[in-house]
Each structure stands twice: as structure tokens, then as C-alpha cells.
Amino acid sequence: MPPAPAPPPFTRRRFLGLGGLGLGAAMLAGCSSPAAAPPPAPTPGEDLWRRFAGTTINFISENTAPTAAIAANLGPFAELTGVTVDIVTLELQSLVQRVALDMAGGQAQYDVVYADPYQVLAPYRKGLVDLRTLVDDPQYPPLDQPVEDFIPTQLRAAGTFGTDGALYALPYDAPTMIWQYRIDVFEKYRDRMARDLGFDPAPGPDSTWEQYHRTAAWINEHVSEVPYGTGHQAKQHDSLMCDFSNVLWSYGGDYFADGAGVGLTGSDDPGPCLLASEEAVEAAEFYNDLVGIAHPGSRGWDWDGVGAALRAGEVAMAPNWHEYAAANEEALPGLIGYAPMPRGPVRSANIYGGTGIGISATSEGARLGAAWLFVHWATSQATQLSNLESSVGGGTPTRRSVYEMPEVEAATSRPSDLPNMLTADAVTAAWEPDRIGLRPKIPMWNECDTAVFTELSRMLAGRQSPRAAMERSANRIDQIVSRGWVA
């Protein structure tokens, strides 16, 4: 993804300033979903999977691992349903722009939508179908496993907003940031590091961020196999907000009061920003010091950059999304380990980046019905297992029943045919309520995110103090939130 030195060109203000499109966005944010024409009813005895044979639908997605796997293996869905699926994959910001324009236009170009909770679901939820109306409809095939089979936290975070009871998306992917480290480096130097540092440096449930910092500094000085102890995704980009948030929450800081509730349930009015708190300032001071001893490339890396650096032997450890495990195993088989994030003074926090897929409320008729068949199939137990086995993608299951399959349980240990499952212990711990990190699910989060990573970038460049970065971020977020979403 490209750097974002200023708020992105397609901000809310610009969107609301684009004449008719602005009016469409305001109406979309404030009104209920339009009543779409329903699909034709099935005939008696009709195969419910083939009701819409001959229909073509469009799926717009971020370029993610599960979508890569599905795009490479659409044959089973086409054979099952007779439906053709055209898939468009984009980086997230471009996807958000396309979806906003499509919904404001009132005629669906995209039937199935990768509904990022923060940049799509929260601001545009009124333009998504409430999937409750389809889940139990006897005119469709029943789900192979009930909705309750989805991991509960992910179902709420990626599929719902507020207390209206609507289900806007089914959990589709579950990237979560965890601690990734070179097993061989820690095995070789563990005893020596322990003697010099006075603690066991091996990643574990009691490891702290202070110990992580001291271990990284020790590796910088004493280890020849890798040039730097740690690397970070500290580019002026969404990745910087993600990387910092793990530290922020671990120090007891947060973006808003009831941060867990705002992240899980969502809110149109989250209240004053808390980034100017002493806990947040302390977290920023620590993060500034940590990036200061990290690989100097960190300030130009997003998640792809730090992932490549770990695989290339440039760093001994790094926080990153767990779904890089498959690439790690290909480049350095057996040499990368996985653990939950270190603890701060308050807790360990692991940012969750999962997303669901939903259906545009402007999709109608046979396309609406075919879109639901695809959402049903793409999030099913069988498809999630197939994605895990894919040679081109994978993702991580969002259904509990998939983790209980014998072949999936066996793959959590090496040798593994499903390398993303090597992270299972780490991510399962990371998804526990006291460890999961949930950014604010608010309609205006895109602008708030930009404010945070812009001010953090200025801090890392030495252009302002950590306290100033937090105070400026809080002030900018308060201004953004006070404007609200509907003009």
C-alpha cells in the first residue's frame, strides 16, 4: 500500500462535497436500507442451490489470502450453483472508494462486499442487507453449521453494529497481530541472553514489552546471524496505527472510554478521545524508543515490508499479522515461532483485523439470491478447510468447528500441511477477551486512523515529542468525531 503523508484524497469531506454523491452518502448513512426486489420464489422440488443458475454476480474484496484461495478454486461453487462469480480485488482504500460510490449510485455493480468493519460496515451499514432475513429463510439451503459456530467475538466485531440486532456480514477472515521470532536465534543465544539480561528472553505468556526492548537491543549488539533484533511496520500508513495500538492497549491507554465496547459493538458517538492520557503518553514514549533501536527500515515498512524483512533474515523478531505464517514456512521452514504479544503494565494486546463479507442492499432479484448463496458457501466449514489447504492463499478459519477437525488439529504442529495453523495456539490466546485488541468501530474511523499515524510518524521522525503526538492526535480525533458522520 502507498504511504499516506496527508489525509487520503477520498475523505468524508471530499465525498460529501461531490454533489449528488455527497447527498447519496448522507442519505445512506442516515436512512434504512432500500427495499430491494426479492428473488423469484423456488418451484416445488427445485434444487435450492441451483435456483439462480445462469446468474452472474460481482464480488469486491481486498486482496486477502482467503479471496486468493477462492478465486483460484471457484469451480466447485459454479458446479454446485450454476452461478458465475466475477471477483475484483483491490487494496483497502480503493475498495472503500468503490463501495461508497456504488452504494451512493443506487444500482449495484458489486453484489458481495468485503465489509471491513471500520471503513465499510460502520459508515455504510445501511447499504448492506441484514443477513438475518436470509439465514433462516426456507427458500435457501440451510447453513451447514449454525451462525453460532462462528467465533463469537469475531461475529460481533466483523458482523454487527450497535444494538439494532442486524447481522451485516459473516466473518470471512481473521488476521491478528502476534509476536513472530526466529526460533534458531533464541535457541542458540537463550542461555547467554538470560545471564546478561537477568530474565528468560524466550517468548512466553509472561514476557513483557520492556523485556522485548532489552532483548532486541542485546541482539543488535551480540548476534551476527541477523543485523537487528526487531523490525516494525512504522511507515506513515495504517500499519503504524496497528503496530502502535498493541503497545497503547498494553499500557492501559485507549482511543475512547469503553474501548472494548466501542470496538466490539460500535458507536456513532464514542465520546472524547483519550489519547492525551498519561497511559497513552507513556505508551508513545516506549514505542518511540522501541522503533529507535529497531531496523532503520522500519519507518518505511508496512506489514508486507516487515514480513519480508523477517523472512530475509534482517530481523530476529517482529509483531505482524499471523497469516504471514505460510510465507514464513516457505522461506524459512521450521525457523519462525509464534506467540501472543508481550505484556505491558496492564495486559497483552493483539490487534484483530478480521473482516466479514456482506451483500449490497442495492443488489436485487436473482443477483441478491445468488449473492447469498455465495456468502453462505464462501464462509462454510468446507470452504474454509479448502482455503486452508490452498497453495495460493489460505487465511484462517472463522468457524470453531473447523479448528476441531482432526486434520486441522494435527496441522498445528510441525510438520504441517496447513502452515497458517502453526499460529493456532498464539491466535487462540490472542482472541481471548482480555487480550484481543479492537480498534474503534465508528463511522469516521478512516479519518481518525489517518490522524493517528500522521502524528506518530512526525514523532518517529523527531519532529515532535510523544506527548505532543498524543495530544495532537486526540485533538484531531475530537474534531473529526464532533462533526459526526451525516453532514
Q: List pLDDT tens digits, range 147-161.
A: 999 999 999 999 999
Query: pLDDT band at residue 130, thresholds of 50, 70 and 90?
Result: very high
Query: pLDDT band at residue 36, thresholds of 50, 70 and 90?
Result: low
Is residue 3 situated within a structural domain?
no
The mean pLDDT of 401-405, rounded to a whole number, is: 96
Residue 133: partners with Cβ closer than 8 Å, 6 or more residues away: none
Query: pLDDT band at residue 16, thresholds of 50, 70 and 90?
Result: very low
pLDDT digits (tens, 9 = 90+) for 187-234: 999 999 999 999 999 999 999 999 999 999 999 999 999 999 999 999
Pick from 434, 410, 404, 413: which is nearest to 338 by CA? 413
Contact 120, 99 (CB under 8 A): yes
Q: Residue 286 belongs to what H/E stretch?
A: helix 278-293
The domain containing residue 240 runs over which residues?
177-351+438-483
Looking at the chain, the whole-number percentage of residues with pLDDT higher than 70 is 92
**Distances in whole angstroms, Cα of residue 52 to Cα of each of 58, 126, 367, 370, 439:** 14, 25, 8, 6, 39
Looking at the chain, the whole-number percentage of residues with pLDDT higher than 90 is 84
Do 317 and 221 have their domain in common?
yes
For position 21, what pLDDT does the model report?
32
Do 342 and 203 have their domain in common?
yes
Residue 345: pLDDT over 70: yes
| CA–CA gap between residue 320 and residue 62 (Å, rounded) | 18
Query: pLDDT band at residue 61, thresholds of 50, 70 and 90?
Result: very high
Query: pLDDT band at residue 487, thresholds of 50, 70 and 90?
Result: very low
For position 396, what pLDDT does the model report?
87
Residue 166: pLDDT over 90: yes
For position 392, what pLDDT does the model report?
81
Do 107 and 147 have their domain in common?
yes
For position 29, what pLDDT does the model report?
41
Helix locations, 337-465, DSSP H: 365-378, 381-389, 400-403, 406-410, 424-430, 445-460
The mean pLDDT of 105-117, rounded to a whole number, is: 90
Do 377 and 321 have their domain in common?
no
| CA–CA gap between residue 22 and residue 486 (Å, rounded) | 10
- CATH code for position 20: 3.40.190.10
Do 234 and 374 have their domain in common?
no
Do 16 and 124 have their domain in common?
yes
- Point out the domain boundary residue: 361, 382, 404: 404
Is residue 74 situated within a structural domain?
yes
Residue 164: pLDDT over 60: yes
**Three-class SS state of 12:** helix
pLDDT digits (tens, 9 = 90+) for 356-374: 999 999 999 999 999 999 9
Is residue 460 situated within a structural domain?
yes
What is the average pLDDT score of the chain? 91
Do 287 and 237 have their domain in common?
yes
Do 316 and 368 have their domain in common?
no
Do 250 and 362 have their domain in common?
no
Name the grid cell of 318.
517482529
For position 38, what pLDDT does the model report?
81
| CA–CA gap between residue 222 and residue 226 (Å, rounded) | 10
Contact 429, 251 (CB under 8 A): no
Contact 262, 477 (CB under 8 A): no
Global pTM value: 0.89
Do 53 and 16 have their domain in common?
yes
Name the grid cell of 53.
443458475
Is residue 396 situated within a structural domain?
yes
The mean pLDDT of 156-175, rounded to a whole number, is: 95
Q: Total domain count for the chain?
A: 2
Contact 341, 265 (CB under 8 A): no
Is residue 471 situated within a structural domain?
yes
Q: In this structure, which long-range contacts are made by residues 407-416, counting pairs with CB atoms below 8 Å and at least 24 apart in sequence? A: 414/334, 416/329
Is residue 432 situated within a structural domain?
no
Do 118 and 96 have their domain in common?
yes
Cross-strand bridge partners of residue 56: 84
Residue scoring higher pLDDT (258 or 38):
258
The mean pLDDT of 297-312, rounded to a whole number, is: 97
Ordered DSSP codes for 25-91 = HHHHHHSPPP-PPPPPPPPTT--GGGTTTT-EEEEEEES-HHHHHHHTT-HHHHHHH--EEEEEEE-
Residue 35: pLDDT over 60: no
For position 296, what pLDDT does the model report?
98
pLDDT digits (tens, 9 = 90+) for 423-448: 999 999 999 999 999 999 999 999 99
The mean pLDDT of 26-50, rounded to a whole number, is: 69
Is residue 100 situated within a structural domain?
yes
Do 446 and 338 have their domain in common?
yes
Is residue 455 situated within a structural domain?
yes
